[in-house]
Amino acid sequence: MKFDILTLFPGMFSGPFDESIIKRAKDKQLIDISLHNIRDWATDRHQTADDAPYGGGAGMIMKAAPLSACIDSVKTLHPDSSVVLTSPHGRRLTHDIARELTEKPGLIIVCGRYEGIDERIRSIYAEDDISIGDFVLSGGEIAAMAIVDAVTRLIPGALGSDESAQTDSFSDGLLEYPHYTRPPEFNGLAVPESLLSGNHELIRKWRRKESLRKTRTLRPDLLSRAFLTREDRKMLTEIEQEEISGL
**Alpha-carbon span 71 to 77, nearest angstrom:** 10
**Alpha-carbon span 42 to 49, nearest angstrom:** 6
Distances (CA, A) of 82 to 88, 90, 103, 134: 19, 15, 11, 24
pTM of the prediction?
0.88
SS3 159: coil
* Per-residue confidence (pLDDT) for residue 99, from 0 to 100: 96
* Per-residue confidence (pLDDT) for residue 167, from 0 to 100: 53
Active site residues per annotation? 88, 115, 153, 168
Cβ atoms < 10 Å from Cβ of 229: 9
CA angle 213, 218, 220 (to 5 degrees): 80
In whole angstroms, how large is the CA radius of gyration of the chain? 23
Domain ranges of the chain: 2-162, 185-245
Within the chain, what is the greatest distance between any pair of CA atoms? Answer: 73
Q: Cis omega (within 30 of 0) on the bond before 183?
A: yes
Class of 2-162 per CATH? alpha beta
**Alpha-carbon span 13 to 145, nearest angstrom:** 8
Q: Is there a common fold for 2-162 and 185-245?
A: no
Any residues with CB less than 8 A from the CB of 177 and at least 6 apart, and which?
206, 207, 208, 210, 211, 214
* Per-residue confidence (pLDDT) for residue 212, from 0 to 100: 96
**Alpha-carbon span 119 to 110, nearest angstrom:** 13
Residuewise pLDDT in 10s, the chain (247 residues)? 999 999 999 999 999 999 999 999 999 999 999 999 999 999 999 999 999 999 998 899 999 999 999 999 999 999 999 999 999 889 999 999 999 999 999 999 999 999 999 999 999 999 999 999 999 899 999 999 999 999 999 999 999 765 455 555 566 789 999 999 999 999 999 999 999 999 999 999 999 999 999 999 999 999 988 999 999 999 999 999 999 987 6
* Per-residue confidence (pLDDT) for residue 246, from 0 to 100: 78
* Per-residue confidence (pLDDT) for residue 228, from 0 to 100: 94
Fold of domain 185-245:
Trp Operon Repressor; Chain A (1.10.1270)
